[in-house]
Chain A
Amino acid sequence: MNDFWTIVWKETKDSTFSGRRSELIVPLVVVAIMGIVIPWQIGHLWLALSPAMITIVCYIPFHLTTSYICDAVAGERERHTLETLLASRVSDRAILWGKITVSVAYAWGLALIGLLLGLVVSNRLSGQGHWEFYHPIGIFLETLVLTLLGSLLSANAGVLISLRAATLRQAQQTMAVGTLILLIAIVLILKSVPSGEIERLTESQLILFFIGGFTLTNLILMGILSASFQRSRLI
């Protein structure tokens, strides 16, 4: 466990949390888009958790995780820091799960901050005189879980792709193509289901369907990663 926290400490020091102003641009832009720009544009509807809003809330952390994890694995290998880390006593698993944890926490944390800010902005703009929370609350909680699983999916896939990519750029390009394929696959799956079937599902059931799919995919990817993230393959 000590090794895991050491890698978490290292990842935070070597990234956004290093204290440099330039590193704060991306998170500030993300929070501003999720917490100010969109709620400003659509007003009070932001709190009503429409499918479009859920998609935005899920996609932004997914995308952030992608760029973070590729840099953390393929980027570290390209900068030759991973090799030195591997020559130390720290375990393969601590490196793997430390990196995944920080990338997911970073992206999901920003999404939560964005949602919180969006809540304040929407309520301030509505001028209803009373505060409203995201509703229905069940959908909100399911959205949070789906966002977390989406980030985890991105992190797992990002590590797998980074292991096979020669450079950071190649890893990021492959991830971009992979994301596109994933989106097309989701559309095709939804299209292949008879329209009546989907219409019978409630919004909550549809989110739960994706939660199930993401959970299963994450478990498979984590199994593959546990077997393939080994020193001899990373050197």
Chain B
Amino acid sequence: MPDPIIRAEHLSRSFGAIKAVDDLTLEVPAGVVFGFLGPNGAGKTTTIHLLLGLIQPTEGQAWVMGFDIRKRAEEIRTHSGALLEFAGLYERMSAEDNLDLYGRIYKMPTAARRTRTRELLEPLDLWERRKDRVGTWSRGMKQKLAVARALFHRPPLVFLDEPTAGFDPVAAAAVRKDLASLVAHEGVTVFLNTHNLTEAEQLCAQVGVIRAGKLLAMGSPDALRMRDKSPRVKITGRGFDERMVALLRQRPEVARVDHLPDRLEIELLDEKSRNGPLVSLIVQNGGEVEEISREGTSFEELFLTLMREEKP
């Protein structure tokens, strides 16, 4: 499988005057869960449609698994699975038949289809209800079945478009958990569209942040958190003086120290720096520590900053 598994260069798609995707350049490495993060209407779904070759770009180019999206879209769809905005299940058909249909589409032999149905439905606790009409199922069950359908023919790449959108927190967590274990078990690359920050943080090794069709940032969630703001340690207590502050400033991991009446606020250079040596230094120099709290940039904070600051 080529690495990067997805490569887009200056990809754009307009619908009349609206640029749904605007000059998108990105690379998705093989074997990771890549989160495509953005608010509603950011261009995430259009990007999936473009990468699947369902619509043509107005400008730019992209390759998925080495196949050109303009010329070899059928091969992309043959070697990938997709769960689009809606589950897209046939509600009058049983769960088993829904999976069987996609097995037939991907030319899997009958025995392989049967084995695969069990293999996927058992861990999702859906096996016992495989003969039920899907229309009688809960939304969470349907979504789990739709994920199973996307993985049914063992594609090396799966596109998932907001798989937990509109779910209550418990159902979303359940789907997320099943999704994570299925993906880990199957070893596929996942292109995950989401506006759920927890989902992106929990599932994704790489994240791209998009707004109004433009890619604003890309990298691992940790790297993105570090991109904007350094971690800060707040130490509350007594006996803090200027000599102690000067000693703290000399430490290599410290970027800045603010001395406030009841506390010290220390900005660190690196997320990995430990609090222990700083506390020891304070105590050894006569300080009394009552409380320590550490603040990094939360993913939510980062996302909101990106949404506010970088107007396209």
Query: Does B54 contact A235, Cβ atoms closer than 8 Å?
Result: yes
Interface string of B71-100 (1 = CB under 8 A from A): 000100110001111111111110001000
Cβ of B101 within 8 Å of any chain A Cβ, yes or no, is yes
How many residues of chain B get a CB closer than 8 Å to chain A's CBs?
Answer: 29
Within 8 A of B (CB), among A169-183: none
Query: Inter-chain contact count A-B, CB under 8 Å?
Result: 69
Among B53, B87, B90, which residue has its beta carbon within 8 angstroms of that of A10?
Answer: B90
Query: Does B102 contact A88, Cβ atoms closer than 8 Å?
Result: yes
Residues of A close to B82: CB separation below 8 A: 84, 87-88
Q: How far is it, in angstroms, between the C-alpha of A231 and the C-alpha of B84 when the chains are bound? A: 15
Residues of B close to A15: CB separation below 8 A: 92
Of the listed stretches B104-112, B166-174, B176-184, chain A binds B104-112
Residues of B close to A235: CB separation below 8 A: 49, 54-55
Overall SS of chain B's interface: loop
Q: How far is it, in angstroms, between the C-alpha of A88 and the C-alpha of B74 when the chains are bound? A: 8
| Cβ distance B172 to chain A, nearest Cβ, rounded Å | 20
Residues of A close to B83: CB separation below 8 A: 84
Q: How far is it, in angstroms, between the C-alpha of A136 and the C-alpha of B102 when the chains are bound? A: 48
Cβ of A142 within 8 Å of any chain B Cβ, yes or no, is no
Chain A, interface residues (CB within 8 Å), range: 20 to 34
Query: Does A90 contact B105, Cβ atoms closer than 8 Å?
Result: yes
| Contact of A3 with B105 at beta-carbon distance under 8 Å, contacts A84-B82, A89-B77 already known | yes
| Cβ distance B230 to chain A, nearest Cβ, rounded Å | 43
Q: Which residue of B lies closest to A80 (CB)?
A: B86
Q: Which residue of A lies closest to B149 (CB)?
A: A84
Cβ of A209 within 8 Å of any chain B Cβ, yes or no, is no
Among A18, A91, A231, which residue has its beta carbon within 8 angstroms of that of B54?
Answer: A231
Within 8 A of A (CB), among B200-222: none
Query: Does A14 contact B49, Cβ atoms closer than 8 Å?
Result: no
Interface string of B45-68 (1 = CB under 8 A from A): 000010011111000000000000
Q: How far is it, in angstroms, between the C-alpha of A48 and the C-alpha of B75 when the chains are bound? A: 56
| Cβ distance A13 to chain B, nearest Cβ, rounded Å | 5
Query: Does B77 contact A9, Cβ atoms closer than 8 Å?
Result: no
Query: Does A6 contact B105, Cβ atoms closer than 8 Å?
Result: yes
Query: Does A87 contact B90, Cβ atoms closer than 8 Å?
Result: no
Query: Does B84 contact A83, Cβ atoms closer than 8 Å?
Result: yes
Q: How far is it, in angstroms, between the C-alpha of A79 and the C-alpha of B89 when the chains are bound? A: 9
Q: How far is it, in angstroms, between the C-alpha of A18 and the C-alpha of B90 when the chains are bound? A: 11
Q: How far is it, in angstroms, between the C-alpha of A88 and the C-alpha of B90 when the chains are bound? A: 15
Q: How far is it, in angstroms, between the C-alpha of A51 and the C-alpha of B86 when the chains are bound? A: 49
Query: Does B88 contact A84, Cβ atoms closer than 8 Å?
Result: yes
Query: Does B88 contact A89, Cβ atoms closer than 8 Å?
Result: no
Residues of B close to A83: CB separation below 8 A: 84-86, 88
Interface string of B247-259 (1 = CB under 8 A from A): 0000000000000
Q: How far is it, in angstroms, between the C-alpha of A6 and the C-alpha of B56 when the chains are bound? A: 27
Q: How far is it, in angstroms, between the C-alpha of A231 and the C-alpha of B54 when the chains are bound? A: 6
**Known interface pairs A13-B97, A20-B92, A84-B87; 8 further A-B residue pairs with C-beta atoms within 8 A, sorted by A's residue number:** A13-B93, A83-B86, A84-B82, A84-B88, A87-B54, A91-B74, A231-B55, A232-B55
Give 30 A-B contacts (CB < 8 Å), ordered by A residue. A6-B104, A6-B105, A9-B101, A10-B101, A13-B90, A13-B93, A14-B90, A14-B93, A15-B92, A18-B92, A18-B93, A20-B92, A80-B88, A81-B89, A83-B86, A84-B83, A87-B52, A87-B54, A87-B84, A87-B159, A88-B106, A89-B77, A89-B105, A89-B106, A90-B105, A91-B74, A231-B55, A232-B55, A232-B56, A235-B55
Interface residues of B (CB under 8 A from A): 49, 52-56, 74, 77-78, 82-93, 97, 101-102, 104-107, 159
